[in-house]
Structure formats: C-alpha cells, structure tokens
C-alpha cells in the first residue's frame, strides 16, 4: 500500500458524511439517528455530518423495509453516490423486514436490493448502537477491509 | 414564465418520503400537489393477518413518533370489541405516557421546525431537552421511542420505584425551559419574520378541509378529542385547550409550545391523583373477539387519530382501518401554498409552511426544477432550497 493511499484512507475515515434515507420506516429509527446528531450523542466528534444530497455522502444510512414504490428511487440515490460508498442498514426492518415481514408491498430485506456493509439491529435502533456501527465501519474503512 | 417544481421524495432528517409538485410563476406559487405514497407498506392488510396481540406491535410502528397514541387507540378499540375497560390506575398511567410522548413529539417538532428556518442553535437546545423526556420514557416503559407500554386491558407494567420523583424533577425542568423558549421565540426578529403572516389558514377553510389537532387549534378553533370525547379518564383531569387566532405559522409554534406546558400540568395532576389498584386486566394473549364493529378516537400529538375495526368473531380483525392526523392535515398544505388575491406565497415559504403542519413529512431533499420555457432541468437539494429561502437567492448546480 502506497503512502498516498494510506493517507487517503486515513482522511476518509476522519470524515464519513452520511445521508439518511427513509425507505418506509416508521420514523422511530429516523428520529433516533437524528438524535445521534444532537448534543447528548454528538456523532460530529467522529467527523460525521448529515448531508442532504447523495452526491456529498460516503455512507448511506437506510431505515425501513424497502417498499415497492421507493425501490427505484433508492437505487437511483445509491447510484448517485460517489465511490467508495458504504451502506448501513439501520433497524430490524431494514435488516430483515422486521414487523413488516410478509406485507405485500415491502421487500424482505435491504440487501436484496442494494449491497449492505453494516447491519444495526433494534426496533428502533438505540443511538448507542448507531454510534458503535459507525465507529466499527470507520475502523474497517481505515484498515481497508470494508 | 411558469415552472413546475417537484420536491422530494428524500430529505436529510427524519422524514417520510413525500413528493410535492409546485407550479410557480417566477417566485410565486400558484398551485401545488402532494403525493405521499412512497412508504405505503400495507399495514391495514397485515393487521388482518395477525392475531390481536401481534397487531398491537404492528400498530405502534405505523408512526414511531406517535406510537403511544397509536397503541392506545388500538387497545381502546379492541377493549371496546371485548366489552372490557381498563382499570382506573391503568388509565392514569396511560395518560402519563401519552402526555410524555406528546411533550417529546412537540419538542422534536419545534426543534426541527426552527432548524428548517435556519435556527441551528435552538434545534440543538430543543433536542437536548428532549433527551430528558426520553430518559423518563425509558425509565417508565423500558424503551426510548417505541414504548410498547399500552396493552389490551391496561398497561404492561407499573411505575418503577423512584420514578415519580425523577419524573417530577424532569417536568420542572421542562416547564422552565419552555418558558425560556417562549421568550426567545417572541423576541427573535428572524423567527417572527419567517412565521408571521406566512401560511395562513382561515378557520372556515380549516374546518372545511377536516384539519385536526394543533394545526386546527392554531386556526382558532377549539377542538380536542380529549375534551370532546374523553377516552381515557381525561374528563377527570383539568386542562386548557390552547388556541391561537392568527392562523399563521407563528400560531402553530405558539400552540405547540403552550401545549407542552399544558402536558406538564396534566402529568403532574395524574401523578398527584394516581388511583391505586391493578394496572391491567387479566386477558389471555390469544383470544377471539365477539362479532361487531368498533371505533376509537385518540388525540395524537398531531391531531385526531381514528381506528375502526370489524370483527367476524375470529382471533384477528376482519377489517382494520386507520386514519392518521397527518393525512387530514396534508390537504391544507395545498390550500396554504396556493397564492390567491393579496395572499402571496413564495418558494422561500415552502419549508416554513410544509414544516408548520407536522414534522412527520416536513420537507424533502431533491428538487427538480423544470424550466418550461427553455425545457431545461436542474437538480437542487433541500439544503439549497433552505439556503435559498434564508438568503432569498437561488443557486444553480
Ligand atoms: S426497525 Fe422498527 S422502529 Fe425502526 S423503522 Fe423499522 S419498524 Fe420502525
């Protein structure tokens, strides 16, 4: 691994910007992730900023089971993100369908639609769990494993 | 020059995807259209396929923010089908949790609303104080957001020892903070300029469109399910229905702020007069409901929530219907966004108006502006429109 590559990786791990996208969640996971941005949990100390556009984001945080309506938009958003990109499935229903398992309008899980790098379980996820997921992912990015 | 501006369906903070199509003339909005179908999951159908007790956990996940109201409405509905009623202590405990989650929801909305108006500091303040409420919810119910506290025939557990003192201390803190915020909001010229005389909804229009909740009360109409149709011992607890008659976004902020202190008083009263006895009826987890239909109404943080069910005598509902308050309030957004006569709406007011009804679907992120005359399209983000609305200046990308 060259020096430049090492440096790039290090920098990347210092500023993982996230984009939050709701693909049919019940909002509980979304507000818990929003709570991470606020003073008590403060993910900004890891360099995490929530962004409004997929073109600015490194990590796509998905909450909710993927509904049929939103699937194409999700794929479009995923494609708009610059490489390298990472996806975090936040919440049981993004991971495995959760309580919506068997609903006629949802896909069984997020990874049947786009590739996923980290799963956070919990219904809703706890802010602590999200912090841990992000720090584990960042560690992996730094080591070049993700 | 006419533009069509579709906003949505994606947004940075805690929002359901929502598509809003605006027809604009220059900066003036002449027409609007809303589409909320993106997160249709088929919950009503799923409820018909699950036994009553499992439906309880699904119903909570219709909306994570008002989950206490949703599960309460469901429990009232099923109890009505069974012809049972929760014991007095359970009713008071339900009120405590319902009002606590109303405080959390209002603080969340206020913070988020001010964030869309460009007030980052107050956003952080509100959410910091909200964490204290979340701690209390966690202490009483065992979870922060989705509480699963109400259950068919009562509540799942009693107040843990020592919770009452902690709760009272938190209430004192919240009350003091709300007083402070009211002072800040009333003395901050930017907030006043962005909210006063913006998004006017006349009382007549509000009633005609079936608007509910704080949104209706901000149009000066005294309507509250807790008062009109007390469902869980609300007739025993005194409270004021807050109304405000300026009918604009400022009124919506004021109503929700004042309601927060009203909730604090209600919880205090409920704690003071907490009946003793059982906190739940013994109902087996799997049961068959007698044939019939039932309707229940609850005042959720965002307005009137209605559940209707039909039972055919089986162990699961034959039909279940949910009418959420946001759906009722959405129509009014279209009305408020339409310029007519001397009432003018600009693109810069969109975040303020849309945010004013409810945080559930507050805004949007990607905007596709189609220039009809030149057949050119440009993509902007919500950040851009917020920045634009702050500086009244468009940035093209
Ligand atoms: S995991 Fe649970 S809380 Fe989170 S969005 Fe899905 S249903 Fe809601």
- DSSP string covering B313-367: SSSS-SEEEEE-HHHHHHHHHHHHHS-BTTB--BGGGHHHHHHHH-GGG---SEE
Band of the pLDDT at B8, cuts 50, 70, 90? Answer: low
Does the CB of A126 have a partner CB in chain B at under 8 Å?
Answer: yes
Among residues B34, B42, B33, B38, the alpha carbon closest in space to that of B16 is found at: B38
Looking at residue B146, the DSSP 8-state letter turns out to be: -
ipTM above 0.90, yes or no: no
Among residues B46, B42, B68, the alpha carbon closest in space to that of B316 is found at: B46
pLDDT tens, residue by residue, B327-382: 778 778 777 877 777 777 777 777 777 776 654 532 222 233 333 333 344 444 44
When mean pLDDT is compared across B5-19, B71-85, B147-161, B227-241, the lowest value belongs to: B5-19
Assess whether the previous peptide bond of B9 is cis (omega < 30° from 0): yes
Does B77 have pLDDT greater than 50?
yes
pLDDT tens, residue by residue, B253-275: 899 999 999 999 999 999 999 99
The rounded distance, in Å, linking the Cα atoms of B217 and B390 is 28
Looking at residue A58, the DSSP 8-state letter turns out to be: S
Band of the pLDDT at B100, cuts 50, 70, 90? Answer: very high
pLDDT tens, residue by residue, B101-112: 999 999 988 888
- Beta-carbon contacts of B214 under 8 Å, excluding residues fewer than 6 positions away, are B252, B255, B256, B259, B301, B302, B303
Band of the pLDDT at B15, cuts 50, 70, 90? Answer: low
Report chain A's C-alpha Rg in angstroms.
Answer: 15
Does B13 have pLDDT greater than 50?
no
State the angle between helix axes of B325-337 and B350-357 in degrees (0 to 180), rounded to the nearest 10. 160
Average pLDDT over chain B reads 81
What pLDDT, on a 0 to 100 scale, did the predictor assign at position B365? Answer: 27
Among residues A144, A7, A21, A4, the alpha carbon closest in space to that of A84 is found at: A144
Q: In what order do the strands lie in the sheet with A50-51?
A: A50-51, A18-22, A59-63, A86-90, A118-120
Token representation of residue B334: 């279209």
What pLDDT, on a 0 to 100 scale, did the predictor assign at position B75? Answer: 92
> In angstroms, what CA-CA distances link A94 with A25, A100, B39?
8, 10, 13
pLDDT cut 70: percent of chain B above it? 83
When mean pLDDT is compared across A13-27, B192-206, B355-369, the lowest value belongs to: B355-369
- Strand-pair category, B319-323 with B303-311: antiparallel
Contact A67 B39 (CB under 8 A): yes
Query: Which of A23, A104, A124 is facing B64, going by the closest CB pair?
Result: A124
Domains and CATH numbers, chain B: 2-40+329-389 (no CATH), 48-317 (1.10.645.10)
Token representation of residue B237: 């607890």
Strand stretches in chain B, DSSP E: 2-7, 19-25, 28-35, 150-151, 154-155, 292-300, 303-311, 319-323, 366-371, 376-381
Per-residue pLDDT, averaged over B83-92, amounts to: 90
Among residues B294, B295, B305, B314, the alpha carbon closest in space to that of B360 is found at: B305
φ and ψ of B50, to 5 deg? -120, 150
pLDDT tens, residue by residue, A32-50: 888 888 888 888 888 888 8
C-alpha A63 to ligand 1 mean position (Å)? 7
Query: Which of A33, A51, A99 is facing B58, going by the closest CB pair?
Result: A99
Token representation of residue B154: 């009562």
When mean pLDDT is compared across A130-134, B181-185, B194-198, the lowest value belongs to: B194-198
Closest-CA distance of chain A to residue B352, Å: 18
Per-residue pLDDT, averaged over B8-22, amounts to: 60
Contact B267, B96 (CB under 8 A): yes
Q: To probe the interface with B, which of A18, A20, A24, A28 has the most B CB atoms within 10 Å?
A: A28
The rounded distance, in Å, linking the Cα atoms of A10 and A1 is 13
Pocket probe mutation, ligand 1, options A21, A32, A63, A70, max atoms within 8 Å of Cβ: A63
Write out chain A residues lying below 8 Å of B112, CB-based.
34
Nearest-CA residue for atom 2 of ligand 1? A123
Band of the pLDDT at B143, cuts 50, 70, 90? Answer: confident
């Amino acid at each position: 691994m060259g020096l430049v590559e090492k440096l790039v990786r290090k920098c990347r791990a210092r500023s993982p910007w996230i984009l939050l996208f709701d693909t049919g969640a019940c909002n509980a996971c979304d507000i818990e992730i929003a709570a991470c941005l606020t003073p008590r949990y403060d993910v900004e100390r890891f360099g995490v900023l929530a962004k409004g556009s997929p073109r600015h984001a490194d990590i796509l945080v998905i909450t909710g089971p993927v509904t049929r309506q939103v699937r194409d938009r999700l794929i479009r958003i995923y494609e708009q993100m610059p490489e390298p990109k990472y996806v975090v499935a936040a919440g049981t229903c993004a991971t495995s369908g959760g309580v919506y398992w068997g609903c006629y309008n949802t896909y069984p899980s997020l990874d049947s639609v786009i590739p996923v790098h980290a799963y956070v379980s919990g219904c809703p996820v706890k802010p602590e769990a999200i912090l841990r997921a992000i720090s584990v992912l960042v560690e992996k990015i730094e080591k070049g494993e993700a | 020059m006419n533009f069509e501006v579709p906003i949505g369906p994606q947004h940075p903070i805690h929002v359901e995807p929502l598509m809003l199509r605006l027809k604009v003339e220059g900066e003036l909005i002449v027409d609007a259209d809303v589409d909320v179908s993106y997160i249709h999951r088929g919950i009503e159908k799923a409820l018909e396929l699950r036994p009553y007790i499992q439906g309880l956990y699904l119903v909570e996940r219709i909306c994570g923010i008002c989950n206490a109201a949703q599960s309460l409405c469901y429990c009232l509905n099923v109890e009505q089908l069974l012809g049972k009623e929760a014991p007095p202590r359970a009713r008071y405990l339900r009120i405590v949790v319902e009002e606590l989650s109303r405080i959390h929801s209002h603080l969340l909305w206020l913070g988020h609303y001010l964030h869309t108006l460009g007030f980052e500091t107050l956003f952080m303040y509100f959410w910091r104080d909200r964490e204290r409420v979340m701690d209390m919810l966690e202490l009483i119910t065992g979870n922060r957001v989705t509480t699963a506290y109400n259950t068919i025939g009562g509540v799942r557990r009693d107040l843990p020892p020592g919770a009452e003192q902690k709760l009272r201390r938190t209430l004192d803190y919240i009350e003091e903070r709300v007083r402070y915020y009211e002072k800040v909001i009333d003395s901050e010229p930017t907030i006043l300029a962005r909210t006063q005389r913006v998004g006017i909804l006349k009382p007549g229009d509000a009633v005609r469109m079936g608007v509910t909740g704080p949104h209706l009360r901000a149009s000066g109409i005294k309507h509250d399910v807790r008062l009109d149709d007390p469902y869980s011992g609300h007739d025993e607890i005194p409270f004021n229905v807050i109304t405000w008659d300026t009918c604009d976004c400022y009124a919506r902020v004021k109503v929700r702020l004042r309601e927060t202190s009203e909730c604090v008083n209600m919880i205090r009263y409920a704690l003071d007069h907490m009946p003793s006895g059982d906190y739940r009826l013994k109902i087996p987890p799997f049961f068959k409901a007698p044939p019939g239909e039932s309707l229940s109404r609850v005042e959720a943080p965002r307005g009137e929530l209605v559940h209707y069910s039909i039972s055919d005598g089986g162990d699961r509902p034959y039909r279940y219907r949910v009418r959420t308050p946001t759906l009722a309030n959405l129509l009014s957004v279209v009305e408020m966004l339409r310029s007519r006569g001397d009432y003018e709406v600009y693109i810069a007011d969109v975040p303020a108006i849309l945010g004013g009804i409810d945080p559930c679907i507050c805004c949007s992120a990607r905007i596709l502006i189609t220039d009809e005359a030149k057949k050119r399209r440009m993509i902007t983000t919500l950040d851009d429109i917020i920045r634009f609305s702050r500086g009244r200046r468009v940035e093209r990308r």
